[in-house]
Structures are given as structure tokens and as C-alpha cells.
Amino acid sequence: MLIFNRDTWQEIFGSIQKNKARTIITVLGVLWGIFIYIVLSGAAKGLDNGFEEKFKDLAMNSMFAWAQQTSVPYAGFKTGRPIQLKLGDVRTLKTRIPAIQYIAPRNVKGAFGGAAGSVVKDQRVGTYNIYGDYPVLTKIAAQKIYIGGRFINSGDIDDARKVCVIGERTQKELFAKEENPLGQYIRIDKVFFRVIGVKKYEEGGGFGDDGDITIPYTTFRKLYNTGENVGWLAIAAYDDADVMQVEEDVKYVLKQIHQIAPEDDRAIGSFNLGEIFNKINGFAKGLTFLSLVVGIATILAGVIGIGNILLISVKERTKELGVRRALGATPSEVRGQIILESVFLTLVAGVFGIILGALVLQGIDAATQDSDIPYTNPTVPILYVIGALATMVVLGTLIGLIPAQRAVSIKPIDALREE
């Protein structure tokens, strides 16, 4: 085969050496194209991975809703009327909005400017945010509990048990270093609670910090006499649902329940994490598409340059090609050599471009490891890399056909006459 013929490769390298400067400059064009594609695609993937890592404990299609004050008079009520969410709102929303998969009412003492709960363990005293939650919260925001402990369960809710899950900082501040807090009691606002778990705190896990204490929602209601009042709602939609539409539907239903003007945009506050995820994903996809367009355009320009170099090479080697034809070289052998040279140069440029792009991505990853930038593991899927190389081989072959056909069209007698 031509590709395994030593003489063929000697002629290819001999041709490259005769046109070193032009060949290097042209190959750099192809290298730059694949380099741009790898770096931009990897950067987009790193951003996508970083955001997912930052909020990995939250459902992708999640949102939060809370009540504020009206800004528009309606149904006989004045502007500035405070709105209070109720437990009944949860049932109504779940019934009227089929796209809602999970909904968790939440209450808190402390946080958002409120007075925190007073907590005592023996002689140690501290103030911490006290959350009242349902077990369904774990479906929306993962609660990582250290081995041996657990989160609130349905039995705790049904019996309004005096149990609690504490945070890592709470454990350090209220318990001795080697002391196991599980099964021990702490006093929360003068009421004893048994510790059933220690929550591992991770940033991006929703509202809260590493000192929070969680108790059953029903126990919270009795302890602080909140009745049917709800602080805010954590909501997760089904994966195939439009979370932005769910947000609009939630606000619409809540406005109807609490007699709020349809045009009042301030009475119900919300934070849509799903919308942010969609925007980040859209940006990442746009960046990937841009890298594809720019990369292919640059590669194509470089490959065309390689074709031009080979055309010049064919012209300069007219006599040599004529001698080869006169000595019995077939048109397919001449054509194959020129195409092989084109593919070889294209592949060499592509491989070096991929290596250089991978090194740059590795450097970016190392530089962002300890930063607050949501950026993790910028990589390009191997199938994309293989696809890019395959595209380059095809382009190299196609562009090599032009100078190859030019070489084949040279008549031996005309080539031998040329000075």
C-alpha cells in the first residue's frame, strides 16, 4: 500500500522541507482552528459542570415563592396589605398545577433579619436559625446527614416529635470535640429536643448555613404558635415541565387565593433556580455552537491553505512528476501521494491543536480550583474530538484532490520539456 511505502514518505518529507516556512504558516492555520474549537467547547463544558456542581444538591427544575405586600389596591383592600401564605395553599397549588412534582412548605425562626432561636447544651449557649420542615424537602434540596444520623421523617411529623437535626458548626460549638451528639438533648427556646442527625453543610444547597437546626414542621408550629402560616414554599417541577411557566402559574394561583390584583408583581416574590439553569445551559450550548462554527471556518481556511501549498509544490515538481510518470508511475499512485501529503499535514496540525487546547484547558482548570468561580473540569467529549479529526481527514482529502488532479493531468512529455 502507498501509505506503507518508504519512498512515498521520503518524497512527502522532502516536499515539506523544500517549503518549510509556507508549510508551517499554513499548518498553523489548521492548528489554530482545532485549538479554538477545543478551548471554547471545553470552556462551555467547564461552566456547565461548575454550575451543576455548585447547585448539585438542588433540583434543577426548582423555584421558591414567598409572600410580600400588595402594591396595587384590589377587591376593596388598600395598597401595602401584607400577604400570608397558608398550609392550604400547598394543597391548592398541587391540585391546580399538575407540573408540580414536589412542594415543601417551610418556616424559620431567625434568618432574613428575624431573631434566631436560643439553644442551650449544658453550660454552652448559642443562637441559631431554627427551621420547621417536612421530609419532602429532601426531594428538592438534598440533606446530607453524617453516618448514624437521619433527617426528619413522616413519624416525626405525625407525632410532632421533639427531635432535631443540627449543623456542623452547631455541633462544634455546643458539643465537645470527641462527643457524639446523636441521642443527646439540647434546649431550643427552653424546650428539650433530641439530636437525631448532623447535617453536612455544602454551599449551594439552598437557604441556610452551617449552624442551622431543623425540627419537624408540626413541632415548629406548636413551639412558635405559627398555626397555618407558612414562611415560604420550595417547589420542584417535573423534568419535562417548563419551570418558568410553573412560576407564572404558582403566582397566578396564589394571587387568586389571597385576592391579589393580577397585575400586582410585588405581592408574591419568587426565585427561579430552573430559569438560571436554563440560561447557563443555553449560554454553554451557544458557546459550543460558536466554537464549532469558528473552529470549522478556521480549519477550512487552513486546509485551503494546505491545498494552495500543494498546488505550488506540484508546479515546482513538474519535471519530477513527469519523470515518475515516464518511469511507469500510475495516475493513482501520483494522486495518492498528493492526497496523502494533504491528509498528513492536516492530521499533524489537528493533533498538535488538540494537545495544545487540552493543555490550556488543564491550566484553566488548575487556576479556578480554589476560586469562587462556578467552573469545574473543562473537557471536550472524546466523540467530539474524534469527530473533529474525522472532519479534518475528510477536508484534507477533498482539498488534496485539487493538486492531485493537477499532478495527474501533467503529461510526461510536457514535463520533461520544461526547463
Q: Does the pLDDT at position 96 exceed 80? A: yes
At residue 168, does pLDDT exceed 60?
Answer: yes
Query: Are residues 125 and 165 located together in one domain of the fold?
Result: yes
- Residues 304 and 215 reside in one and the same domain: no
Q: Among 181, 215, 234, identify where a domain stops.
A: 234
- Assess whether 30 and 113 both reside in one domain: no
Residues 172, 284 within the same domain: no
The Cβ of residue 303 has, within 10 Å, a number of other Cβ atoms equal to 27
Which pLDDT band holds residue 102 (cuts at 50, 70, 90)?
very high
Judge if 89 and 159 occupy the same domain.
Answer: no
- Domain match, 286 and 254 both: no
Contacts (Cβ under 8 Å, ≥6 apart) of 57: 141, 142, 144, 202, 204, 205, 206
The DSSP 8-state label assigned to residue 114 in this structure reads P
Contact 97, 253 (CB under 8 A): yes
The number of residues in the chain equals 419
- pLDDT recorded at residue 111: 78
CA distance 175 to 191: 18
Cα–Cα nearest to 255, from 33, 405, 96: 96
State residue 124's pLDDT score.
92
- Say if residue 20 is in the same domain as residue 78: no
Identity of the amino acid at 362:
Q
Q: Are 258 and 83 in contact (CB under 8 A)?
A: yes
What mean pLDDT is predicted for residues 202-230? 85
**What is the DSSP-derived secondary structure letter of residue 376?**
-
Residue 64 within any structural domain of the chain = no
- Domain co-membership, 242 together with 315: no
Q: Which residues contact 368 (CB under 8 A, 6 or more apart)?
A: 46, 50, 375, 376
Residues 114 and 94 in one domain: no
What is the tens place of the pLDDT at every residue in 30-88? Answer: 788 788 888 888 887 887 777 777 767 677 789 999 999 999 999 889 999 999 999 99
SS3 326: helix
Residues 40 and 95 in one domain: no
Judge whether 410 lies within some domain: yes
Closest of 299, 280, 384, 314 to residue 345, by C-alpha? 299
61 in a structural domain: no
**Residue at 273 is within a domain:** no
Give pLDDT, residue 11. Answer: 66
164 belongs to a structural domain: yes
Same domain assignment for residues 174 and 290: no
pLDDT for 4 beyond 90: no
Highest mean pLDDT among 14-23, 139-148, 273-282, 332-341: 139-148
Question: With 0-12 CB in 10 A as exposed, 13-18 as middle and 19+ as buried, what is 300?
Answer: middle
Answer whether residue 127 shows pLDDT above 60: yes
Can you tell me the mean pLDDT for 378-392? 80
Contacts of 163 (CB under 8 A, 6+ apart): 152, 156, 193, 194, 195, 196, 215, 216, 219
pLDDT of residue 340: 77
> Residue 76 phi/psi, 5° resolution?
85, -5
Residue 256 and residue 179 share a domain: no
How is residue 261 written as a grid cell? Answer: 390584583
Among the ranges given (3-7, 175-179, 267-271, 372-376), the one the predictor scored with the smallest mean pLDDT:
3-7
Domain containing 184 equals 101-234
Model confidence at 413, in pLDDT bands (50, 70, 90)?
A: low
Mean pLDDT for the chain overall: 83
pLDDT at 246: 94
